[in-house]
Amino acid sequence: MNRIDQKLKEDHKLLSIYFTAGYPNINDTVTIIENLEKSGIDMLEIGLPFSDPLADGPTIQASSTKALNNGMTTALLFEQLKDIRKTVSIPLIIMGYFNPMLQYGIEAFCEKCEEIGIDGLIIPDLPVDVYNEEYKSVFEKHGLVNVLLITPQTSDERIRFIDSVSNGFIYMVSSASVTGGNSGFGNTQTDYFKRIADLKLKNPQIVGFGISDNETFTQATEHAKGAIIGSAFIKHLTKNGATNFDAFVSSIKTKS
């Protein structure tokens, strides 16, 4: 069974963290992954930096630019991760845009992910129809979960289609804005979270965009299986470096 599916069976709300590979320093990637697992997170999204990250807010965009300037590439990321399963057991997901994967070669990219022990991919700019018709069989051959995204603007019909071709979980974008937006969720978002829960989809949902503290984590996971923190963690990395994340992670999971 895929590590993501195993983790989703656990009886608690899941915390996933996103960071950009090669940030703040080119060789921080493995250190960050190992220290985040030690801090008690459930899953990890490794961002493959891209020059035109449309869905990302200014914090993650800046980390991508710095990582690219540091020299991060797809090939280098795979080299850095080649022994990661000797020290890390939590699910690892690569989040990136489709162009670098196409340039690497989809079959070769998926094969490398399987070899290293990557469990899934999140590709915001890969349309579900294209994935379903052209790439689903390749991903599944290499044991990769492709995590598809929904937003408040996605129709119920479209959501049910996405659910039907998904495995693992569905990435529920909390709003139509980019990552790293305003703190706190209003009635619009909480009504949306409940609307999706009421659809009773076969795949659990994990909420991303706008999660930054215990309050937003709690709100996001009232009707969902878990939540993802990206921009708030990148800010923590920028300020504190790549070593100890215990206080950051415990502040999300525990009410102050």
The set of catalytic residues is 45, 56
- In angstroms, the CA 155 to CA 164 distance is 14
Q: Which two tokens stand for residue 19?
A: 């960071």
β-sheet with 120-122: strand ranges across = 145-147, 120-122, 92-95, 43-47, 14-20, 226-229, 205-208, 170-173, 149-150
- In angstroms, the CA 186 to CA 218 distance is 13
Asked whether 8 and 204 are in contact (CB, 8 A), the reply is: yes
- In angstroms, the CA 21 to CA 48 distance is 6
Helix, strand, coil percentages for the chain (3-state, nearest 5): 45, 15, 40
